Amino acid sequence: MSATDQPLLSVRDLKKHFPIKGGILGRTQAMVQAVDGVSFDVRAGETLGIVGESGCGKSTTAKLLIGLVDRDEGDIELGGKSLGRDISLRALRRDIQMVFQDSYASLNPRMTILDSIAFGARVQGLDDPVGRARRLMARVGLDPDRFAGRYPHELSGGQRQRINIARALVMSPKVVVLDEAVSALDKSVEAQVLNLLSDLRAEFGLTYIFISHDLNVVRYISDRILVMYLGEVVELAPVDMIWAEQAHPYTRSLFSAMPSMDPDNRTQKPPLTGDPPNPIDPPPGCRFHTRCAFAADVCKARHPVLGPMVQGSPHWVACHLHDPASGHPRAGQGVPA
């Protein structure tokens, strides 16, 4: 990566293992490997979509980024400054904000909307928190004169999510993590909020990390897509490239699970069977080999490393199929059609 292409947010080897306590003494019985060695870069103004099935560590990754969950290992760098070494968590939180999935639970029911939005600005000691909050309310499409004194239960889901977005923007952050931010909305409202998010990104020069399970939504808003499986990154590629070719067998199954728009073209057989393995005791080697149609002996033995498919390609994948030197019988041939 050249100097001109300095990433805004850089995550290296992020790890979070949750202990499972049990027994009379409450000793740690096992560790859930929720996030296990996740690395990625996000450039300024870019939107990185993170996809994966439930329990793959998407939300934990999001919470690790803003320190709601303490990381066990790994580095988070924002604008070249490392969290904990160069900048404090409090300072980081001014630059990274988050929008949660549940629009109702993420607003204090006893607080007026204006106060909810202004809270962050007050805490960070920014000037004119109320003015900031009112301007942002207007910007997300809620008239401050009508809505400022209302309580969350008086608003609809879409209105509340607009408020949550305004709340996230009140400190003028650089990065906004959207954790399933539009998933709970119905389709028409979802489209409106997505358009609002695109407009805001352009207007405020924001960088998004957009977490979702809805591939169409991710495709619409993202520049690049990161696919997670069992706490690891399995594929990372620009949106057009991944749409054209899903390099990892898991990504392929994930994409083929997307319902087709054409009713004559419905998938009849499930693209992937069974549940993901238990993250307490993930399979050795490639974590996907238990469900992979192309698993060979090397997949059970060796852990594939995330790397470019071809030298210099922005399409990264962690699969032995794409590494000619891996020893996989079909290595270098790619995923069979």
Partner 1 sequence: MVQVTTDIPVVPPAQRGYWSGVLSRLRRDPVAMICAVILAALVLSAVFAPWLGLADPYQGSMIARLSAPGTPGHLLGTDEQGRDMLSRLIYGGRLTLFIGLMPVVLAFFIGGTLGIIAGYVGGITNTIIMRVVDVFFAFPSVLLAIAISGALGAGVLNSLVSLTIVFIPPVTRVAEAVTSGVRSLDYIDAARASGANALTVIRVHVIGNVLSPIFVYATSLTSVCMILAAGLSFLGIGVRPPEPEWGLMLNTLRSAIYVNPWLAALPGVMIFATSLCLNLLSDGLRSAMNVRD
User: Which residue, 142 or 233, has its beta carbon nearer to partner 1?
Assistant: 142
Distance from C-alpha of 177 to C-alpha of 179, rounded to nearest angstrom: 6
Is residue 52 within 8 Å of residue 60, measured between CB atoms?
A: no
What DSSP line would sit under 267-309, residue for residue? --S-SS-SPPPPTTSPPSSSTTTTT-TT--HHHHHSPPPPEES
Lookup: tokens for 61: 């990754």
- Three-state secondary structure call for residue 183: coil
Distance from C-alpha of 196 to C-alpha of 176, rounded to nearest angstrom: 14
User: Which residue, 111 or 138, has its beta carbon nearer to partner 1?
Assistant: 111
Amino acid identity of residue 154, one-letter, is E
230: left (phi over 0), alpha (psi -120 to 50) or beta: left
Q: Shortest gap between Cβ of 104 and partner 1 (angstroms)?
A: 9
User: Which residue, 168 or 306, has its beta carbon nearer to partner 1?
Assistant: 168
Distance from C-alpha of 286 to C-alpha of 235, rounded to nearest angstrom: 13
Q: Shortest gap between Cβ of 100 and partner 1 (angstroms)?
A: 4
Q: Shortest gap between Cβ of 98 and partner 1 (angstroms)?
A: 5
User: Which residue, 30 or 111, has its beta carbon nearer to partner 1?
Assistant: 111
User: Which residue, 50 or 181, has its beta carbon nearer to partner 1?
Assistant: 181
Q: Shortest gap between Cβ of 20 and partner 1 (angstroms)?
A: 15
Q: Shortest gap between Cβ of 271 and partner 1 (angstroms)?
A: 32
Site residues (vs partner 1, CB under 8 A): 63, 66-68, 89-91, 93-94, 97-98, 100-102, 105-111, 116, 119-120, 123-124, 149-151, 153-156, 164, 167, 171
